[in-house]
Structure 1
C-alpha cells in the first residue's frame, strides 16, 4: 500500500525527471574568475559538496577569495537552478519537515535572544522580518513585544500562510530589492534578516534595500553563517551551514561591518557567538548516514526504492540512532564553549540607519 508521501512523490516524479533529462549541469552559470565582493582573482577552492538536505543530484563548489575572505558558490545556480533546488523544500513535499525545524524549541530560544539583543538599542513599533517563511520568528517575538506590529516578506507561498495564521500582520510576497524603494520605503523601525542574506544573489543590494525600508534611526538585525568557523574546517562538505546549493554567499563579519558602514549604517554590535546554532555534529552525522544508506523515496529519483532498499534504510537509521543522539548531546554540551570561541557557526550584527 502506498503511503501519502509516496503518492505525492510519484505525482511529482515526471516533472522532476523532465527537468533532469539534460543533467544537473544545466542549472549552473559559467564559473566566475573573480570574487563578487572585491573583484580579486585570488580564488581557492574552499569545499566541494552535494545537496545533503534533500539529496537532489548535482555537485557544488564554494570558492574563497584570498584577498577579502568572501566565500561564494562558484559556479553559481542560475534562475532555473534556484527554482529546481528550492522546489519542495519550504513548501510542497518538504513543507511539513521544514516547518517542524523552525518551530523547535532551540529556534524559539534563539529568536528570543535576538529580540533581547535588539531591544537593548530600540523599542520598535513596526518590524519587518525578511525571509520569514511561515512567520515563526514573529510568532516567537510577539510574546516579548506584544505592542509591536510584525510584517513578513518572502518569495514563497509560506508568507501568505503566515498572514492567514496571524503570525504576521501583513504578508509581502516578492523581492526586498523591488519592494523596499517603493511600497515599503521608510516604513519600519526594525528590519530583521535571519539566515537570509546567504541565500541572495547580491547581498550588497539587499543591505541597501533594507536601509530603504527603515526609517531614519531604524535598526537592522542580521544573523548569518560565519565562514570563518572552525566547525566549517573540521567538517568540510558535511558542515550544515554550507547548505548547498541554497547558500550562495558567505560574508565574513569584518566585510559585513565595512559594507554596512559604507551603505549608511552605524554598526552598534557584532557578536560572533550569540547566534550559534548547536547542530553541527548531528547534522554531519546525518549527512554521512544518508550518503551510505539507500535513498528514501523522492520524486527526483528515477524510480521508487524497492522493498529491500527500504528495509536496509530503516534498519540503518535505527542502528545509527545512538550515534545521532550522542552527536546531538555533544552539540549542546559544546555550545557554551562554541559561543565564546571561533567554533561558533554564525554571527549577529545590529546596525542603526543614519539619515
Structure 2
C-alpha cells in the first residue's frame, strides 16, 4: 500500500471517529432528555430557598441587589440574583439554591456530559497549579502532608508533586472525580463527601490544607473554615484562593464577568472579611496575593459568554428538543464571525492587562496563606 493510501485510510478512520463521537454525544443527550424534562415540568421554584433578609456574613439588614443574571455557561433555565451587603461588602446569591437546586445545576457540568470538557480544561493549567504550590514555599518548603479540598480530578495535586516531591497529597471532593483522581494516581488518598462532615476524622492531620476556588461554592463558608481549622495541625497552614468581588472587572463587565459563575458561586468574600474571620478562628494571615492569583481570561471569557448567549443554543438535554439544522448553521456562522474579537481579547488579557492587573485593580482573584496558631 502506498503512503498516500495509508494517509487516506488514517483520515477516513479519524473522520469516522469524530462522527462517532458527535453521534455518541447526541445519543447521550437524547437519553438524558426525559429525566431533565421531568425535573422541569413544574418549573424551577423548588430549586430556590426563601430569600433571606440579612447578610449571611455579618447579619446586617442593609442588603441590595448587585446583579441579575442567568446561567451563561450551561444555559439551564432560571434567573439568579446576587445581593451585596452595604456594611461588610459580602456578595451572596439570594435566594440561594436548595440542595435539590444544587444537584440540578451541577449535574453534567463537572461530570457526565461535561466531564471530558472540564477534565481537559483543568488538566491544561499546569503553570497556574505550580504557582499555587510555590506560594507555600516561603512558609513551609517541605510539608509532609497536604489535603486539597475541592480537588476535582486532582490535577493540582499531580502538578504540585513536581514542586514538592516529598509531600503526600490527599484530595477531598463530593463528586466521583476525586475517586478517579485516586485511581489515576494524582492523589494518594481520596475522601468523598462534605468537608465539615469529614473533618472530625482528619483532626490535626495535615501540614497544609488548600481550598482553591472552593469556598465560593459552599453553602456555609464559615463551616468550611472551621473544618479547615480542625484538619490543619497547630503550626500548619491554610491556603485559600477565591474570586475577588472588589475587582474592577466585576463592575466593568457586569454579568459577563466569568467569576460570577451563576448559579454555582454562592458567596463572594472581600479579602478584608476573610482575613478577619480567619483571625477570629485562630489563624494568622502571613501572606496576601492578588497579582499572583489573577487568571488572565476576563476579556476572552466576556466576549465568549456574550457570543454564546447571543447565538442559538447547542443541543442539551434540558432543552425540549434538539435545534434544527438552520439554527446550528446560524450558531456556527456567529461564532466564526466572533473569532477576531476572541483573539483580540486573548491578546489584551495576556499581554496588555496581565502585567498591570493588580496596579489597575483588575485582579480577578486573591490568595491568602494563614498559619494555625
Scaled by the length of structure 2, the TM-score of the pair is 0.93
Partner of 2:266 in structure 1?
248
Partner residue of 1:103? 123
Count of aligned residue pairs for this structure pair: 351
Cα distance, 1:341 vs. partner?
Answer: 3.5
Q: Secondary structure at the match of 1:241?
A: helix
Which aligned runs of 4 or more in structure 1 are off by greater than 3 angstroms? none
Conserved in 2, the CA contact under 8 Å of 1:273 and 1:341? Answer: no
Residue in 1 aligned with 2:106? 86
Q: 1:291 aligns with which of 284, 292, 309?
A: 309
C-alpha displacement of 1:126: 0.4
Tell me the secondary structure at the aligned position of residue 256 of structure 1.
Answer: helix
Deviation for aligned residue 1:246: 0.2
- Kept in 2, the 8 Å contact 1:49–1:238? The answer is no
Residue in 2 aligned with 1:136?
155
Residue 335 of structure 2, aligned match among 317, 320, 323: 317
Match of 2:280 among 256, 262, 265: 262
Deviations 1:267-296 (A, max 9, x none): 101112210111111111111111111100
1:23 matched to 2:17? The reply is no
- Higher helix fraction (1 or 2): 2
Q: Secondary structure at the match of 1:343?
A: coil
Measured in 2, the distance between the counterparts of 1:228 and 1:130 equals 24
Distance in 1 separating the partners of 2:298 and 2:362:
10
C-alpha distance after superposition, 1:227-248 (max 9, x if no partner): 0000000010111000000000
Give unpaired runs (5+ residues) of structure 2: 1-18
In the TM superposition, 1:153-168 aligns within 5 A as 153-168=172-187
Distance across 1 between alignment mates of 2:58 and 2:293: 26
Residue 186 of structure 1 aligns with which residue?
204
Q: What are the equivalent positions in structure 2 for 1:1-355 lying under 5 Å apart? A: 3-104=23-124, 107-122=125-140, 123-181=142-200, 183-333=201-351, 334-354=353-373
Q: TM-score, normalised by structure 1?
A: 0.97
Deviates further, 72-81 or 319-328? 319-328
- Distance in 2 separating the partners of 1:179 and 1:292: 43
Unaligned runs of 5+ in 1: none
Q: Which residue of 1 aligns with 2:9?
A: none
CA displacement at 1:121 relative to structure 2? 0.3
Give the secondary-structure state (helix, strand or coil) at the position aligned to 1:340.
Answer: coil
Indicate conservation of the 8 Å contact 1:135/1:159, yes or no. Answer: yes
